[in-house]
């Protein structure tokens, strides 16, 4: 199972917590900033999302289109890291309830949705 904290350590990134972010997470110059006291699965997903920004060397931008593309890429990449196709298939065999899938996979609804959309695009290609 993918461990974003281990991934951050492997990349030599610092993970820090601050209540004054104005967002759940932020990557900036080798440091990932997270809000404290998030639920564990939310923190796991936010950290994976921010790790994608780190891997790609994303820096803050005022270009809205570029920002939106980066956010979508980070969601898709985090979702691929966090959810294997096999685990997703296993959940689908157990129940139709996507909320139950998210709990079983230890991810947020937005990450599950990103993974499903990514797989849909792959299958359409």
Residue 55 has pLDDT above 90, yes or no: yes
The chain-wide mean pLDDT, for the chain, equals 95
Nearest to 52 by CA among 87, 82, 23, 22: 82
Write down the pLDDT at residue 121: 84
Global pTM value: 0.93
- Per residue, the 3-state secondary structure of 54-103, as one string, reads HHCCCCCCCCHHHHHHHHHHHHHHHHHHHCCHHHHHHHHHHCCCHHHHHH
Examine the pLDDT at 125 and tell me if it is beyond 80.
no
Q: What is the pLDDT of residues 20-33, one digit of tens each?
A: 888 999 999 899 99
| In the predicted structure, residue 60 carries a pLDDT above the cut 90 | no
Q: Kindly report the CATH number that applies to the domain delimited by 4-124.
A: 1.10.10
């Amino acid at each position: 199972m993918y461990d974003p904290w281990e991934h951050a350590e492997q990349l030599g990134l610092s993970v820090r917590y601050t209540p004054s972010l104005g967002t759940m997470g932020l990557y900036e110059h080798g440091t990932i900033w997270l809000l404290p006291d998030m639920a564990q699965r939310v923190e796991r997903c936010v950290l994976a999302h921010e790790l994608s920004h780190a891997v790609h060397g994303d820096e803050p931008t005022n270009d809205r289109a570029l920002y939106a593309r980066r956010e979508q890429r980070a969601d898709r990449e985090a979702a691929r890291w966090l959810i294997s196709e096999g685990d997703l298939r296993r959940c689908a065999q157990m129940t139709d309830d996507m909320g139950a899938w998210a709990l079983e996979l230890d991810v947020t609804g937005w990450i599950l949705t990103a993974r499903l959309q990514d797989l849909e695009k792959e299958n359409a290609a």
